[in-house]
């Protein structure tokens, strides 16, 4: 069964137009009024910093987290579970922070240290694991999942993305370095506007192009609209915890999110461009590569030129054929001189160019020449042999681009249309919040809109984004968040089980400079985290809290697919550690985060 929200891409197929989606609401968006209930929505209230509740003499806790948990348990007549045994606790910590089981030697080492002082040994173990490269490999997998990371395009073709692994390595590196989360956000939404000269920052913007890409979609308008909608939806869900996608075709049916809010969010992203063929390296490295390549091409020029003559007519024919597959007006955009195209026309032309390049790359020249010009085949084979020898000395090219920027400094208009006519939608935040217009400062090459969005998301006063990240951290430690629906803080999601605790954690997160490692230490040193999972629910717990949302024991968790595979490699002694690099095949004895992830397989 397809839900209302999940059907939005199907709806887009018949609602597609040049720049807007037809509105489905029966009234102009301006007439929408919000209720008191809308303004009381818990997720948009300012983050408070509540004092931990007072507890009675039976308190078992170790830090303020436990005071919030203990109060809720007591109100329901429940009690916390005993502390986990040493083996259970150590195994939990290793799987949690590294995604790997402890070895016999590591367990024995902890037992020796715990014999003197278990609390000191436990805290030292957490610090040790956080400083290991294995920590970033495990926690990067969490982010890669929400960022819909894969190494192929999806759909039937499922084309390979040869340099997307650089984004994976960026995430691992950022997490190991304990990069502040607000900086992490800014780099992923607008790294090109933060520091376009730094390839380590530029690759962060691959976040915006990690989604599915249909390379051979001839309806260019609809294709780009689906891409824009996917970027809008994932930005709203990952960073803000809001189901913006349900407001794509009409005002949200359950949350106070207007259809206009959807396109106001999309307007921040409307001028997006996915460049190909550029090199992700420092300017000095690219300049050196350029010199070496020029020297190599001078030596190879006779062979390259003759091969080019062979291939020229075939390339031209395929290019002409590819272009004619598009609607006539899209062809006109492509055939316009670059200087005469507006920003939207440039986006359309780039979509066509990607397909032209792909189609040319699929030509099997030997087969073409053998069929059409057999008398030239022998000479072509000789040239290929010569080129093969020359390529042994060809300089190694830096990785090609897989990042995001803007197509122009001229924003692509975002239009919302319906029975009351069309209106241009400017970048803006949720209408319900009543915030002023965003401050947008263009750069020399971009609109500056994505930076404005990133700065708002990474603002400590933003109640949505700050709570969302604090909740995600709890979610990954306990298997369920304080808000069990981490991508949806709206009415279609679930309310927080401990709202005061969520705000207290969020305040500590901001107080600590948006750094994640300190939050790990805070959560993992709590008595709540150190409870055993080996406790059956009492009759009272079965009635009062069958889902263990009040945390009367540590929730048992299944290993993820990556953890299960990596644990087998540890148990067999085969696991080999590596530090980033291109993906490897599934039979390679490396961590699963480095193994190829093809979207359709």
What are the tens digits of pLDDT across the range 177-216? Answer: 999 999 999 999 999 999 988 888 999 999 999 999 887 8
Distance, CA of 446 to CA of 202 (rounded, Å): 14
* Beta carbons of 199 and 280 less than 8 angstroms apart: yes
The arithmetic mean of pLDDT across residues 423-428, rounded, is 91
Distance, CA of 243 to CA of 453 (rounded, Å): 17
386 burial via Cβ count (<10 Å: 0-12, 13-18, 19+): middle
- What's the pLDDT score for residue 216? 81
Distance, CA of 86 to CA of 109 (rounded, Å): 12
Quick one: which of 429, 152, 389 has its CA closest to 268? Answer: 429
Distance, CA of 205 to CA of 167 (rounded, Å): 8
Distance, CA of 31 to CA of 25 (rounded, Å): 11
- How many other CB atoms are there within 10 angstroms of residue 315's CB atom? 15
Q: What percent of the chain has pLDDT over 70?
A: 94
Quick one: which of 246, 241, 248 has its CA closest to 266? Answer: 248
In 318-474, the DSSP E strands lie at 405-406, 415-418, 421-424
pLDDT at 363 over 80: yes
Record the tokens describing residue 489, joined without a space: 């803080």
Q: Which is more confident, 421 or 205?
A: 205
Q: Which is more confident, 450 or 582?
A: 450
Query: What confidence category does residue 419 fall into, taking pLDDT thresholds of 50, 70 and 90?
Result: low
Distance, CA of 575 to CA of 589 (rounded, Å): 5
* Beta carbons of 426 and 270 less than 8 angstroms apart: no
What are the tens digits of pLDDT across the range 285-343? Answer: 888 988 999 999 999 999 999 888 888 888 888 888 889 888 898 999 989 999 899 99
What are the tens digits of pLDDT across the range 101-135? Answer: 999 999 999 999 999 999 999 999 999 999 999 99
Please list, in sequence order, all residues whose beta carbon lies within 8 angstroms of the beta carbon of residue 360, skipping any fewer than 6 positions away: 315, 318, 319
- Element containing residue 272 per DSSP (H, E): strand 272-273
Distances (CA, A) of 383 to 43, 363, 377, 506: 66, 17, 10, 64
pLDDT at 14 over 50: no
Q: What's phi and psi for 522, nearest 5 deg?
A: -60, -45
Quick one: which of 465, 504, 511, 502 has its CA closest to 484? Answer: 502
- What's the pLDDT score for residue 8? 40
Distance, CA of 177 to CA of 516 (rounded, Å): 10
* Beta carbons of 168 and 232 less than 8 angstroms apart: no
- What's the pLDDT score for residue 362? 82
* Beta carbons of 210 and 164 less than 8 angstroms apart: yes
Query: What confidence category does residue 221 fall into, taking pLDDT thresholds of 50, 70 and 90?
Result: confident
Distances (CA, A) of 4 to 23, 265, 448: 15, 20, 34
What are the tens digits of pLDDT across the range 62-98? Answer: 999 999 999 999 999 999 999 999 999 999 999 999 9
Distance, CA of 273 to CA of 7 (rounded, Å): 26
Distance, CA of 60 to CA of 69 (rounded, Å): 11
Record the tokens describing residue 537, joined without a space: 């629910």
* Beta carbons of 67 and 539 less than 8 angstroms apart: no
Distance, CA of 510 to CA of 470 (rounded, Å): 9
* Beta carbons of 517 and 531 less than 8 angstroms apart: no
* Beta carbons of 138 and 99 less than 8 angstroms apart: yes
- Element containing residue 273 per DSSP (H, E): strand 272-273
* Beta carbons of 421 and 28 less than 8 angstroms apart: no
The arithmetic mean of pLDDT across residues 509-517, rounded, is 97
Average pLDDT, the chain: 89
489 burial via Cβ count (<10 Å: 0-12, 13-18, 19+): buried
pLDDT at 27 over 50: no
Report CA 326 to chain centroid distance, whole Å.
31
Q: What percent of the chain has pLDDT over 90?
A: 68
Q: How are beta strands 415-418 and 421-424 bridged, if at all?
A: antiparallel
- What's the pLDDT score for residue 425? 92
The arithmetic mean of pLDDT across residues 577-590, rounded, is 92
The arithmetic mean of pLDDT across residues 419-427, rounded, is 78
Query: What confidence category does residue 32 fall into, taking pLDDT thresholds of 50, 70 and 90?
Result: low
- What's the pLDDT score for residue 397? 86
Q: Which is more confident, 367 or 545?
A: 545
Record the tokens describing residue 382, joined without a space: 């000789």
- What's the pLDDT score for residue 98? 97
- What's the pLDDT score for residue 421? 63
């Amino acid at each position: 069964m397809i839900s209302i929200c999940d059907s939005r891409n199907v709806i887009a197929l018949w609602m597609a137009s040049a720049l807007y989606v037809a509105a489905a609401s029966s009234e102009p968006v301006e007439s929408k009024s919000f209720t008191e209930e809308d303004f009381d929505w818990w997720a948009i209230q300012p983050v408070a910093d509540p004092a931990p509740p007072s507890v009675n003499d039976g308190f078992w806790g170790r830090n303020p987290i436990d005071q919030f948990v203990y109060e809720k348990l007591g109100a329901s007549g429940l009690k916390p579970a005993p502390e986990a045994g040493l083996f259970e606790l150590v195994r939990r910590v290793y799987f949690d922070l590294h995604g790997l089981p402890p070895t016999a030697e590591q367990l024995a080492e902890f037992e020796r240290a715990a014999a003197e002082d278990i609390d000191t040994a436990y805290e030292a173990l957490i610090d040790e694991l956080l400083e290991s490269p294995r920590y970033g490999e495990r926690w990067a997998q969490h982010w890669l999942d929400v960022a819909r990371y894969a190494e192929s395009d999806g759909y039937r073709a499922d084309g390979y993305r040869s340099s997307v692994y650089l984004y994976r390595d960026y995430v691992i590196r950022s997490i190991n370095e304990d990069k502040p989360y607000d900086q992490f956000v800014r780099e992923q939404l607008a790294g090109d506007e933060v520091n376009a000269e730094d390839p380590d920052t530029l690759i962060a913007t691959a976040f915006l192009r990690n989604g599915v890409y249909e390379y051979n979609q001839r309806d260019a308008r609809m294709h780009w609209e689906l891409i824009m909608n996917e970027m809008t939806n994932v930005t709203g869900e990952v960073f803000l915890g809001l189901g913006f996608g349900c407001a794509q075709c009409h005002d949200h049916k359950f949350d106070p999110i207007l259809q206009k809010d959807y396109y106001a969010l999309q307007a921040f992203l409307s001028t997006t461009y996915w460049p190909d063929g550029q090199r992700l390296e420092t300017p000095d490295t690219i300049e050196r590569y350029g010199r070496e390549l020029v020297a190599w091409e001078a030596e190879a020029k006779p062979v390259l030129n003759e091969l080019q003559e062979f291939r020229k007519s075939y390339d031209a024919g395929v290019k002409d054929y590819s272009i004619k597959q598009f609607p006539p007006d899209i062809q006109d955009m492509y055939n316009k001189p670059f200087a005469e195209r507006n920003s939207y026309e440039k986006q359309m032309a780039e979509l066509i160019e990607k397909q032209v390049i792909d189609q040319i790359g699929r030509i099997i020249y030997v087969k073409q020449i053998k069929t059409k010009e057999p008398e030239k085949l022998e000479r072509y084979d000789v040239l290929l042999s010569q080129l093969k020898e020359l390529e042994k000395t060809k300089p190694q090219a830096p990785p090609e681009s897989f990042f995001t920027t803007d197509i122009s400094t001229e924003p692509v208009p975002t239009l919302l249309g319906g029975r009351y006519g069309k209106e241009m939608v400017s970048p803006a935040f949720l209408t319900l919040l009543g915030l002023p217009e965003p401050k947008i400062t263009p750069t020399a090459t971009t609109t500056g809109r994505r930076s404005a969005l990133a700065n708002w998301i990474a603002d400590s006063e933003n109640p949505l984004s700050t709570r969302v990240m604090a909740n995600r951290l709890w979610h990954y430690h306990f298997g369920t968040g304080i808000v069990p629906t981490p991508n949806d803080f709206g009415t279609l999601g679930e309310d927080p089980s401990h709202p005061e605790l969520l705000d207290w954690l969020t305040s500590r997160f901001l107080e600590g400079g948006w750094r994640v490692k300190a939050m790990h230490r805070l959560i993992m040193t709590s008595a709540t985290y150190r409870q055993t999972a080996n406790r059956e629910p009492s009759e009272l717990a079965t009635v009062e809290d069958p889902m263990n949302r009040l945390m009367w024991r540590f929730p048992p968790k299944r290993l993820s697919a990556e953890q299960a595979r990596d644990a087998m490699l540890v148990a067999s002694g085969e696991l080999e550690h590596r530090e980033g690099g291109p993906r490897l095949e599934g039979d390679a004895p490396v961590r699963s985060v480095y193994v190829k992830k093809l979207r359709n397989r």
